Structure formats: C-alpha cells, structure tokens
Amino acid sequence: MNIVLFGAPGAGKGTQSALIVEKLGMVQISTGDLFRAAIKNKTELGKQAQAFMDKGELVPDSVTIQMVDEVLVNLKSKSFILDGFPRTQAQAEGLGKILKQRGLEIGKAIFLEVPKEELLGRLTGRRVCKACGAVYHVQTKPAKVDGVCDNCGGEVVQRNDDKVDVIATRLKTYEDNTLPLRSYYKEQGKYVELNGAQDSDKVFSALKTVVQGG
C-alpha cells in the first residue's frame, strides 16, 4: 500500500518514515530531504527552494509537484511513503493526477497528531546528520557521542530552519495550508489519525498496523 504521512513540523514524520524503510522495506519520498539534497548539490532546484525554506515558507506547488513526479517515474513497483508531501490542496490534487496517469494510488493518508505545546521542544531540540540525514534530539534521542552520527560518523548539526523565529512561520504555514488536507483525505475515505505524542516505538506499531492493512 502507498501511504501519505502528514502532520505538523516536528510531528515525527521523518522518524517514522525511517523506521518504515528499515523495518518494512518501503521507499521513502521526503520532499524536505530532496530539497536539502538539491541545495547541497547546488542545483537549479536547490537555488529555487532555498529562499523559501530559509524563511519557513513553502516552495511553490509547481516546483514541488514536478520534483515528486520525477521521483515517481523511477520507482518501479515498490510501495512508497510520501513524507511531507502533499502540504497543500493543490499538491494533493496534483499528486492524484500524476498517480492516476501511472495507474497508482494512495491507500491511506495518515495524520500524526501532536499537540502544539510539544512541537516547539521537538523542533528546537532536533539535530540531524549532515551526511545521512539521521534524526536526533538533544534530550530524547541524543547521539552516543555528542555531534557525531551513530550510523555513519557524520557531523550532527541543527537545521537552519529549526531556529525559533523560522519555526513560528513554519507552524503558521502548516496551520493555514496543510491542516485542511485532513478534510480532503476524509472525503476520499483515506484518512487515518494516529496519536503522534506517544513514544516513537508505540507510534510505529500503530503505523505498521495501518500500513499492513490492519
């Protein structure tokens, strides 16, 4: 089954997607990771995306949809999880169209519900590996050696957009643009809501049940 995983910045989308890749062998498509890779590689796409990301705004829909379309072309027949896409109604409609063209569909759109009070602490404490993208948290999931990735030895740093002023814009952007997707997927009968405020192994076991069609 193909899945959309959505929720606020800091809801745990990246953490859960990594578990799904590791334990269930699905393919993760994270638009945030794709944009960060484009920035790192100094591509034209990266140049376009960076200004929006630094401000905590969304990259324009047309650019984002096209990027996802290009990834979907190369997927072969593996089941995928969309992490952080769609984030707007236009992206959700665009996704529906490109999947239909390829004879694919989304099985479930899973919303990770986390109270706003919890998100700020998650985002300000988040650290990521510059090399492999592994996600840490200074309090709840510190790297074994401070600043060094457990997986690959890469440098563990704070994302530029995880600074307090940018976080405020990202949360507002999310409330205005992404929260309304709940009704979009409810109308399609694909909506599932999970409690994202539990320990991440509990979230994962609930997610796994949905992904495996339970």
Sites of contact with ligand ADP (CB under 6 A): 7, 9-15, 31-32, 35, 52-53, 56-59, 64, 84-85, 87, 91, 122, 125-126, 135-137, 140-141, 161, 170, 199-200, 203
Question: What is the residue-wise DSSP string for 94-119?
Answer: HHHHHHHHTT----EEEEEE--HHHH
Based on the residue annotation, tell me whether 36 is a catalytic residue of this protein: no
| From 130, 159, 190, 208, active-site residue | 159
Please enumerate in sequence order all residues whose Cβ is within 8 A of that of 124, keeping only pairs 6 or more positions apart, or say none: 162, 164, 167
Residue 102 a catalytic site member? no
- For position 148 contacting Zn ion by CB under 5 A, the verdict is no
Q: CA 160, CA 198: separation in Å to the nearest integer?
A: 27
Query: Is there a catalytic annotation at residue 122?
Result: no
Q: Among 154, 192, 196, 203, which residue sits at the site for Zn ion (rule: CB under 5 A)?
A: 154
CA dist., res. 91 & res. 108, Å (int): 16
Two tokens at 181?
Answer: 């997707």
> How many whole angstroms separate alpha carbon 161 and alpha carbon 180?
23
Decide: is 188 part of the binding site for Zn ion (CB under 5 A): no
Residue in 142, 177, 157, 152 with CA at minimum distance from that of residue 59: 177
Interface with Zn ion includes 152 (CB under 5 A)? yes
* Contact partner at residue 85 from ligand ADP, Zn ion, none, CB < 5 to 8 Å by partner kind: ligand ADP
| Residue 192 beta carbon to ligand ADP: minimum distance, rounded to whole angstroms | 16
Residues 119-138 as x/- pattern, contact with Zn ion by CB under 5 A: ----------x-xx-x----
Q: Which residue is nearest to ligand ADP (CB)?
A: 32
Residue (112 or 149) nearer to Zn ion, CB: 149
- The residues binding Zn ion (CB under 5 A) are 129, 131-132, 134, 149, 151-152, 154
Residues recognised as catalytic: 13, 87, 126, 159, 170
